[in-house]
Amino acid sequence: MRAESFEARVRQALYAGRRWHPAEIAFWILAFAAFVLFPSHLLLLNEIAILALFALSLDLILGYAGIVSLGHAAFLGMGAYAAGLLAKHVTGDPVAGLACGMAAAGLVGLLTSPLVLRGSDLTRLMVTLGVALILYELANSFGSLTGGADGLQGVMMKPVLGQFEFDIFGRTAYLYSLSVLFVLFLIARRVVHSPFGLSLRAVRDNPLRASASGVPNGRRLAAAYTLAAAYAGAAGALLAQTTQFVSLDVLDFHRSADLMLVLIIGGAGYLYGGLVGAIAFKLLQDAISSFTPQYWMFWIGLFLVLFVLGGREIIHGAIKTVVGRFARLGKGGA
């Protein structure tokens, strides 16, 4: 009876996590409505969508599996170069490039996962950073293939699904990036609210107890790391396809550092944290850089210091309050 009661509670918890709250529906409606509401800012919105997908990939391992990383840009760059090279030498089909970028980054994640899963958090930080630095130097050394410091040029993209051509205003780019983000978000949402996702959180909270319960810790973490790498590769592929250019900047350390700032702002451990953090970070960056182009990093740094010292709990508390009210309204309406 106790076992059956426990299984029933687990199934109920999983089902509750999969239910869509009104706040979530409103979030995605606003995201797609932004195409009409802000037609002059579609290029910025495209950058936000790509950064949000990149942040989602890190949240899958940091927030749910407890794997810290300072070299997540390795997978972003791998996906970008794979999609760019495919478009330049084989085919410019965006869907094929997206799949290629995800496969290439996922393969790198799978091959490097044994290195990352060994040791403490400090070891993981150094290993992930080292992997990103190695890929950076390789991309710089093989300039005949990657373009080196000059970047990979000549990336020509075909219309999305053979119908929607890329333009300089970012119309197709934003809808394409947002659609990919939405589909991958749905998959990630399903994963974290599954028995696999519960086992990841068990490993994160207490590895010894999870192992004693029969959870294969290493395989679970390796699978999560590979999935996160593929998601980051998708973000890199979108970046290469929508800009039609790939530079060494996609492998630079500041990409990983900015990603950590995004999750600090939005919060790790719930999927919308990376999305909200990406929106706040890019809007803040755009506003401050337009006001003071030379010293915008100073003001962002000051904001982050104040935010971490006292503002994060207030903002996160306000967000949870609003979401809770939406959920109660949805239950009352039902």
For residue range 65-98, what is the model confidence (pLDDT) as tens digits?
888 888 899 999 999 999 999 998 888 899 999 9
Q: What is the pTM of this model?
A: 0.86
C-alpha closest to that of 287 among 41, 32, 27: 41
Q: Which residues lie below 8 Å from residue 48, measured CB to CB, with a gap of 6+?
A: 278, 279, 282, 283
pLDDT at res. 333: 47
Distance CA 220, CA 281 (A): 31
pLDDT at res. 12: 63
| Structural contact between residues 64 and 75, judged by C-beta atoms closer than 8 angstroms | no
pLDDT at res. 68: 85
pLDDT < 50 regions, the chain: 1, 333-334
| Structural contact between residues 187 and 211, judged by C-beta atoms closer than 8 angstroms | no
pLDDT at res. 83: 93
The structural domains of the chain, with segments of one domain joined by +, span: 2-252
- Cβ count near 323 (within 10 Å): 17
C-alpha closest to that of 326 among 283, 284, 272: 272
pLDDT at res. 301: 75
